[in-house]
Each structure stands twice: as C-alpha cells, then as structure tokens.
Structure 1
Amino acid sequence: MKPSEVRDYADSGLTIQYAMIDHATRFPDRESRPKYLLWNGQRIWTSDVWTTTEKGVVRAEFLSCKTDVEQGFDIKVDGWLELAQGMRVPVLRTWKDERLEDAVEYPFFARDKRLRVWNVYKMTYPGGQIVEEKWTENAGFWVEQIGENERIYHCNHGMASPPDFESLVFKASVQPF
C-alpha cells in the first residue's frame, strides 16, 4: 500500500489505539509506513519527534484545557532537561494546574538531537484508582506547525469518545544554543 491509501478511521468504530494497530498491520514495513493515521481528514499522532539541536531551551505553554480530566504533556530527550534547582531529568511531565504558571521553560541536552512530545492524562478506574496514562484508547493529537522550531498540539485524552482534539491545546518551541 502507498501512503496515499491511508484509511480515514473516524467512522471505523475503532479507538485511536486500535486504529494505530490496524494501520501498522496495513503497512507492515515500518520504514515506508506513514507515522500518522487519518481521522476526519486530519493527521493524528500519538507522539511527535522533532529533529533539533543538541543543546537548547524548550518552552511549552498551555493555551487551553478542558477540566473534565486532568491533562498535561511529556517532553523527552536522550539526555536531560534541567529543572530550576539544577536537577536533570530525561522526561519532563507537566500538568495543567491553575495554581501554577501556564508556561515552562528548561534548558536541554539531546544526544540524538531529537525532542519527543506526547500528551498525558489521569484516568479514573472502577474502584477509584487514578492512573497517569498516555497512548491509550482515544489519545492522540494533530500538530499545527508554526515554524521550524514551534508547534501547537491539539490533543484528545484517552477517554473522550468521540475524540475532541481541543481538549488540551499547548504550544512548544525550541530555542537552539
């Protein structure tokens, strides 16, 4: 199959997670497989990978967030993101919290010159157990490319059915060193 033969899954009855599995089955060659799937004509991703510089500053800002589910995003590098106290972590998880500023900014070092981004959310299971999740059920997003070093993510958490890609909207940008 060719990428032009990518199926639009919006009316398939599948969740985004199962649509990704079907998509991988339809395009078994990882190298030629489109990294996204279609949903109502929109390219949907479960994670995004940027090619960037080895060192820089990443800034992320919540633009809007519906409050029915606690939501946030992860930024990951093969290296470190440096927190304000000097602590270095490979993955930065940031939750939308009304008590905190809407924007975060951290220096980073990425050995492979890649920055990885995805949305996260808290799911409540029967019995009241709350679990931090990513990539489950209907989780995904479409990417609005603003420039080479700036993107806006329009996210759906895993529990929304049908997906609402305006459930969480955040902007990420990279300032190379």
Structure 2
Amino acid sequence: MRDQYQVTLYDPADVDAFSGDPDELYWTLDGLTPADNPTARIESISTSGRFIEVTVRGDASLMIRYRESDAADIHHVDEADILAAHQAIMACLSRAHEWRQALDPISGSFRTADLRIDYQQTGLSTANAMLDNLKRRQRRNLPKVVPPTILWGSRTITTGDTWHGVPGSGKVAVRILRPDRVHEHGIAIFAPGGTLTVGPAQSARETVIWPTADTAEIVVDYIAPAQTLQVCNVYMVRNGTSERVDRWSENAGMVIEPAGELERIYHCNHASTAPPGFADLMFSLRLLAGS
C-alpha cells in the first residue's frame, strides 16, 4: 500500500495533507525562502520515522535530510538543484526507487544543472515548467528571451508569441484551422501601444476571438507603433456566478509553426488538457498583402 504523507511549513504545529502531485511538490519547494520559510518537512503518516526535509540556502540551492524508517540512518544531500530534488522526491514518494538510489546522486546538482531540460518528462504543468526555466535563467544572469520557450519532448513550446517586425499598421487574417469543440477556448491579439479593430467593433488595445465550428477567417485591422503583435490562447474560467478570461495557467501553451515570413500557425493546448498534446485549438495568423 502506498504511503500517505503530510507536509509542515512555517509553523511546526501547522501540518497539511500532502498529495504528492508534481505541481504541488514544485510549489512547496519553490515557495521556500531563506529568511521566512526555509524548510519543508514531508513526513509519512503510515511509516514511522520516514521523512524528507528540504532546506533552502541563500544561493537557492537545497539541502536535504531524509530517512526511510525509524530503523534507518539519517542521510544528507547538499547543494541540490530544485528540479533535480523535485524529480528525486517524486521517485521516493511513488516508491519508484529506493530513497538512497534517488536522492544521493543529486548532491551537487545545483552547480551542474543543465538549461536544456525536456520538461515533458518532469510531470510539471507547462506553467510551472516555464517558471522553473525562467528562474533557472535568472540565477545564471542570462538575458531574458521573448517569447520564453522550453523543450517539450521533440517540440519547442511557449505560452505566447511575440511577432516582431510587422508593419506599423495593416491587417492580419486569423484563420481557424481546428476549433476547440470541448472548451471555451479563444485567441487574444495585443498590439503594444496600439489598437486592434474587428469589423464595426470599437478599437481596443487587445482583441479576443472565440472561434466556433463555423468560424472560418476573421480580418483584424491593427495599428502597432512598436511593430509588434503579441498572440496567445485564452480560455473562460467560471466560478459560481463569476467568470474571467484567463491565460498562461496550468497546461496552457502553444507550438508555433512558421509558414513563411507572412504567416504563423499555432497549435494550442487548453489549460485543463493533461497531458498536453497541443491539439485543442489550431489557427493561423497571416499578414495580408499591402499591410
């Protein structure tokens, strides 16, 4: 029978159930701060003495203490990378490996962690994978990449596209290649410092298109002083009587397929589709001749 675990943060008296979900574990590790909340203790409630205790240091490396049972010794792992720790702890909690086999090899991984990570293998949502990659680049003082991208299996994915070098004004045709027949799944186009207009509607800084099964092509007039258009997939989130248009959360993301200098094709994953297949919504943007 698989063990059940609890996690202690901040106050030793404040103990919560711990599901072992990959994103929950990542949030727990990423939320550790040296001054305010340095340590998380994940402890079995079914096997006496079994625990993993993670402490963050000032350089963001992790120190780990662990023991598999009352009868075992306490072991130490030093200077662990957050994602390496995440993967090793997941293996321990799922009993995929013996704890020493999973945890001991990640000692020193903070110094040797690679930037080129296949996040499809981590169990993280695309949102947390993007967060991990961003923080990894920041720790190495690497320049910001726009749009940020990560490796997902054999594909490169992003949460949104930034199309530089478009004419300062013109028209784009949005062609729906595959509407999402399951979710309320749409397309947001933003012109920094400019405006967009669809038909007789009032101009706005951003336009949101909600494709239906009979939507073929929509022409958007734009003014883009920065010669940039930003594109992402959006979706409706409802909670009781409230609703909002959301983006970039959970498993939302897209694969961008160039189709020449004037056109791009977007393969989008809805936030709730797991594992991501990037086949929920497919559309293209094409700069019209003369724009």
Contact kept, 8 Å, 1:69 with 1:123, in 2: the verdict is: no
Query: d(CA) in 1 for partners of 2:282 and 2:219?
Result: 17
CA contact (8 A) 2:197 2:207 kept: no
**2:53 matched to 1:53?**
no
Q: 2:211 aligns with which of 96, 100, 113?
A: 96
Match status 1:169 vs 2:261:
no
Alpha-carbon deviation of 1:32? 5.3
Matches within 5 A, 1:1-177: 5-28=115-138, 29=141, 31=143, 33=145, 35-51=148-164, 52-78=166-192, 79-85=194-200, 87-98=202-213, 101-125=215-239, 127=240, 130-175=243-288, 177=291
TM-fit CA distance, 1:33? 4.8
Distance between the aligned counterparts of 1:95 and 1:131, measured in 2?
14
Moved more, 58-67 or 8-17: 58-67
Q: In the alignment, is the contact (CA less than 8 A) between 2:115 and 2:136 conserved in 1?
A: no
Task: Determine which structure has more spread, i.e. the larger CA radius of gyration.
Answer: 2
| Segment drifting more, 144-153 vs 100-109 | 100-109
Percent of pairs identical after alignment?
Answer: 29
Give the superposition deviation at 1:82: 2.3
Runs of 4+ in 1 over 3 A off after TM superposition: 127-131
Distance 1:8 1:149, change over 3 A: same
Instruction: Using the TM superposition, give the Cα deviation of residue 164 of structure 1 relative to its aligned residue in structure 2, in angstroms.
Output: 2.0
Give distance in 1, aligned partners of 2:176 and 2:198. Answer: 18
* The structure with more helix, counted as a fraction of residues: 2
Q: How many pairs were matched up? A: 173
**Structure 2, gaps ≥5 residues long:** 1-110
- TM-score relative to the length of structure 2: 0.55
Question: Aligned letter for 1:166?
Answer: A
Q: Is the 8 A contact 2:174 2:220 kept in 1?
A: no
Instruction: Deviation per CA, 1:64-93: give whole Å up to 9, x if none.
Output: 123221111001102011232262111010
Aligned partners of 1:23 and 1:155: how far apart in 2? Answer: 20
Change (3 A) 1:61 1:33: closer
